[in-house]
Amino acid sequence: MLRRTCLAVLLVLSLTAMIRAENAPAGEKKPDSEQGFVPIFDGKSLDGWMGLDGDKSSYYVKDNQLICTATGANHIFTEKEYANFVLRLDIKMDPGGNNGIGIRAQPSKEPHLYGMEIQVLEDDYYADGDPIQLKDYQHHGSIYGVVPAKTGHLKPAGQWNEEEIVCDGRHVKVTLNGAVIVDADLDKAQPIDGHEHPGLKYEKGHIGLHAHGNYGAEVFFRNLRVKELK
């Protein structure tokens, strides 16, 4: 009985330490896996982000979340450019949610071409082919128009997903809820959507959130942080 009690106490202490580390204020020691990461969203405002022609109205902030409105159609981009990096964030979607994460993107109405877009889509809503039949490169996590993602790892609408995007030289890797769903060599990747994708050759650019508001669905982001690589 004593042994079981000791094990239970150790488990509680371990869980407490993990929670404290996750919520540690800036300046406190973070877990090794988070060393070097810097927030790109302060949880309170859109400071550090820019919209095309200054328009950031498709996004708002609430409860430490960066939220794309249900009818949002205007992209936003980090003011800073990034070349090689690891991006980590949490994503939650209403049914039918549609968005995108720009990497090495230029501020544009077509950042999936002038940069790359990691698709953000609530796949289940479209599983029956209504209102559209998804192409392979349109599933969540895909490099839109170029590299299809492995499916089956996205949580249902209304639940948070943990996503990591590595952009290192000519290598792009997307991990969703612990599963690698894209592992691409950009030198071998070829567009499959019938469009030219000059952004595949960009060496740096902005991180973007690409609004494609459809069907009254909001898309939620939190814990956006970046670690730059050499």
The full DSSP string for 113-160 is TSSEEEEEE-GGGGTT--S----GGGSTT-BTTTBPPPPS-PPPTTS-
Distance CA 206, CA 222 (A): 18
Write down the residue that tokens 């690698």 correspond to: 180
Q: How many domains does the chain have?
A: 1
Does 8 reside within a domain? no
Does 166 reside within a domain? yes
> For residue 123, how many other CB atoms are within 10 A of its CB?
20
pLDDT band at residue 228 using 50, 70 and 90 as cut-offs: very high
Q: What is the pLDDT of residues 160-212, one digit of tens each?
A: 999 999 999 999 999 999 999 999 999 999 999 999 999 999 999 999 999 99
Does 2 reside within a domain? no
pLDDT band at residue 33 using 50, 70 and 90 as cut-offs: confident
Q: What is the pLDDT of residues 67-118, one digit of tens each?
A: 999 999 999 999 999 999 999 999 999 999 999 999 999 999 999 999 999 9
High-pLDDT (> 90) share of the chain, %:
81
pLDDT band at residue 31 using 50, 70 and 90 as cut-offs: confident
Does 69 reside within a domain? yes
Gyration radius of the chain over CA positions:
19
pLDDT band at residue 7 using 50, 70 and 90 as cut-offs: very low
The answer to whether the peptide bond before residue 191 is cis (omega within 30 degrees of 0) is: no
State the average pLDDT for the chain. Answer: 90
Q: For residue 219, what are the domain limits?
A: 38-228
Q: What is the pLDDT of residues 147-157, one digit of tens each?
A: 999 999 999 99
Does 19 reside within a domain? no
Looking at the DSSP bridge assignments, the partners of residue 92 are 220
Does 88 reside within a domain? yes
pLDDT at 217 over 70: yes
The predicted pLDDT at position 1 comes to 41
- Say what the alpha-carbon torsion angle 28, 60, 87, 145 is, to the nearest 10 degrees: 170
Does 16 reside within a domain? no
The predicted pLDDT at position 19 comes to 41
Does 48 reside within a domain? yes
Distance CA 6, CA 201 (A): 56
The predicted pLDDT at position 28 comes to 53
- Residue 104 maps to which CATH number? 2.60.120.560
